Amino acid sequence: MMIIKSDQNKELELAVSGGFVRIARLCNEYYEFVDKADTLVAQIKQQDQADIFTFVQSASERSPRHQRRCEWDDAAVLQLTTFEQWWKKQINDKTRNMIRKAAKTGVEIREVGFNEDLVRGIERIYNESPVRQGRRFRHFGKTSEIIRVEHSTFLDQSVFIGAYFKDELIGFVKLVHGKGVSNLMNIISLVSHRDKAPTNALLSKSVELCTKQGIPLLHYGSWSRRSMGDFKKHHGFELMRVPRYYVSLSIKGTLALALKLHRPIQERIPENFLDKLAEFRGRWNTLRFGKSGRSRIPTIQRTTATG
């Protein structure tokens, strides 16, 4: 982790990943952006902890504006005008029926404040299951203290929306408003209440709030059919290519960029093989993890010999 300062003297946190080639990026990508890259690059070089610095441009600015090596991120973005346009033209009958289903089954959608009741409700949702969509759920096991810290970011720009069933929080959205674009920082519901379609209703409420404020774009992570891809498409999200920049900080970084070692390895693997890997991972996680979150696979006990 690195701390640097922007031109406005604001502290920015950077995460460094990778082994042989170390890549630094803003911890809050798509919520914080780089204005003047030269200032940040000089600070990162001084700390000598990374070989490459990468950063993205806002989805509201699709033409590259930095004179740096530019590639592209595939973002899932919903283009908005009015709620009626989205409801009638951008989603299909099945999606509309899912949203209606939430209300019919007694789910109430409302804006909520960031308080202890919300934090405890999020904790229950996070700790329902260690596996989601066939993958180990990264939020499983988090305490209320950790959740409180993580969700206290960007509070002056954020709206929390809760889905309630019989006064129990069964799903929530953290919606972060930016300049010309809002971001779904988190949207999740209890698996046990999936039959009530709370996540669909939460997305609908997010669209409603954005259109009321005249926000033209709603960003929902990366465009990937392996990560809620069908859900995004059914709710009107489309592929939008967003500029991503790479800056070499060392000789090793320059070599890595030339050999294209900076891109995720999955981009160099055939898609049908990735599908098979994802299927195997889902089966393995289902076998390995129970509701307790503990491994079902026995571990080998090792002893150290002493002489």
Structure token digits, residue 213: 């404020």
pLDDT of residue 11: 87
**pLDDT above 50 (res 273):** yes
Closest CA to 47 of 29, 19, 24, 27: 24
> Which residue(s) pair with 111 in the sheet?
161
Long-range interactions of 65-71: CB distance < 8 A, separation 24+: 65/243, 66/34, 66/37, 66/243, 66/245, 68/37, 68/245, 68/246, 68/247, 69/245, 69/246, 69/247, 69/257, 70/243, 70/244, 70/245, 71/243, 71/244, 71/245, 71/246, 71/263
Residue in the block written with tokens 């294209």: 260
Structure-token match 């009530």, residue found: 196
The residue with greater pLDDT, 292 or 108, is 108
Q: pLDDT tens, 193-229?
A: 999 999 999 999 999 999 999 999 999 999 875 556 8
Percent of the chain with pLDDT strictly greater than 70: 84
Cα 189 to Cα 169: distance, rounded to the nearest angstrom: 9
CB 173 within 8 A of CB 160: yes
Strand pairing category for 158-165 and 168-177? antiparallel
What is the pLDDT confidence band of residue 52, given thresholds at 50, 70 and 90?
very high
Question: Which residue has 């160099």 as its token pair?
Answer: 268
Residue 4's contacts (CB-CB under 8 Å, 6 or more residues apart) are 11, 12, 14, 40, 43, 44, 47
Among 45, 11, 15, CA closest to 27 = 15
All domains in the chain, ordered by first residue: 2-70+243-286 (no CATH), 77-113+153-239 (3.40.630.30)
Q: What are phi and psi of 295, to 5 degrees?
A: -65, 135
80 vs 271 pLDDT, higher one:
80
Cβ neighbour number for residue 20 with a 10 Å cutoff:
8
* pTM given for the model: 0.84
